């Protein structure tokens, strides 16, 4: 195993849900194929015709919205950050702060496996910068640079 590689031999959706607060229909990471702590992650989203957004985007030509591709990259980055900072299971959340240089290069259709490759470009205990690309096969379909902050969840309402 490569130095820094994840200790998780089977990082499936059950493990993803232990790290991320997202749930269907907003959970956009199905499994993690590679996680090198403090460096990068490669995760997968299986794009299914059963996704609710395909009913309206677009009827007769279903395409995964670009903003959801970016959200999937952000969720993969959240897993990378939580695991690298030792915060998995802590209840902390990773919030988007900015998105830069977003590009959409090709449509993503039902039946695709969307590979999410994200790497740290800067990391601290409170904020992290990432560069990510979403791929179908070996073709980049979207990419972005983004920043997120690690924070406590909102206080429960009284």
Respond yes or no: is residue 22 known to be catalytic. no
Output DSSP code: residue 9: S
Q: Give the list of residues 6+ apart from residue 25 with CB closer than 8 angstroms, or none.
A: 51, 52
Burial code (b: 16+ CB inside 10 Å, e: under 16) for 66-83 equals bebbbbbbbbbbbbbbbb
Q: Which of 15, 31, 57, 123 is catalytic?
A: 57
C-alpha dihedral sign at 132, 101, 86, 39:
positive
Which tokens go with 17?
Answer: 């849900």
Rounded CA separation 151/139 (Å): 34
Supply the residues annotated as catalytic.
57
């Amino acid at each position: 195993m490569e130095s820094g590689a994840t200790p998780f031999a089977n990082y499936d959706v059950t493990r993803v849900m232990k790290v991320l607060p997202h749930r269907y229909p907003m959970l956009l990471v199905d499994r993690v194929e590679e996680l090198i702590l403090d460096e990068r992650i490669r995760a997968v989203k299986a794009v299914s015709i059963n996704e609710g957004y395909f009913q309206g985007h677009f009827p007769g030509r279903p395409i995964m919205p670009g903003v959801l591709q970016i959200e999937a990259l952000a969720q993969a980055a959240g897993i990378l950050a939580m695991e690298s900072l030792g915060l998995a299971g802590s209840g902390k959340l990773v919030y988007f702060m900015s998105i830069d240089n977003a590009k959409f290069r090709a449509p993503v259709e039902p039946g695709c496996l969307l590979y999410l490759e994200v790497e740290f470009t800067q990391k601290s205990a409170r904020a992290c910068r990432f560069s990510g690309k979403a791929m179908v096969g070996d073709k980049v379909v979207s990419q972005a640079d983004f920043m997120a902050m690690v924070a406590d969840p909102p206080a429960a309402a009284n």
